[in-house]
Chain A
Amino acid sequence: AQSVTQPDIHITVSEGASLELRCNYSYGATPYLFWYVQSPGQGLQLLLKYFSGDTLVQGIKGFEAEFKRSQSSFNLRKPSVHWSDAAEYFCADFAGNAGNMLTFGGGTRLMVKP
Chain B
Amino acid sequence: DAGVTQSPTHLIKTRGQQVTLRCSPKSGHDTVSWYQQALGQGPQFIFQYYEEEERQRGNFPDRFSGHQFPNYSSELNVNALLLGDSALYLCASSLVAATEAFFGQGTRLTVV
Which residues of A come within 8 Å of B, CB atoms?
4, 32, 34, 36, 41-46, 49, 51, 90, 92, 94, 96, 98-107
Residue from the list A36, A96, A99, A104 in contact with B99, Cβ < 8 A = A96
Residue B65, interface by CB 8 Å: no
Residue B82, interface by CB 8 Å: no
A106-B42 in contact given A43-B105, A101-B48 (Cβ < 8 Å): yes
Closest chain A residue to B50 by CB distance? A100
User: A32 to B97, alpha carbons, bound, how many Å?
Assistant: 14
Binary contact track B24-45/A, C-beta < 8 Å → 1, others 0: 0000000101010000111111
User: A63 to B101, alpha carbons, bound, how many Å?
Assistant: 19
Contact B42–A49 (Cβ < 8 Å): no
Contact A90–B106 (Cβ < 8 Å): no
- B-side contacts of A103, CB under 8 Å: 45
CB contacts between A and B, total, < 8 Å: 62
User: A103 to B33, alpha carbons, bound, how many Å?
Assistant: 12
A51-B90 in contact given A99-B56, A101-B33, A101-B48 (Cβ < 8 Å): no
User: A81 to B106, alpha carbons, bound, how many Å?
Assistant: 27
Residue from the list B43, B48, B108 in contact with A100, Cβ < 8 A = B48
A49-B108 in contact given A106-B41, A107-B42 (Cβ < 8 Å): no
Size of B's binding interface in residues, CB under 8 A:
27
User: A47 to B108, alpha carbons, bound, how many Å?
Assistant: 23
User: A14 to B64, alpha carbons, bound, how many Å?
Assistant: 43
User: A18 to B31, alpha carbons, bound, how many Å?
Assistant: 38
A42-B56 in contact given A101-B48, A106-B41 (Cβ < 8 Å): no
User: A92 to B74, alpha carbons, bound, how many Å?
Assistant: 23
User: A21 to B56, alpha carbons, bound, how many Å?
Assistant: 30
- A-side contacts of B35, CB under 8 Å: 102
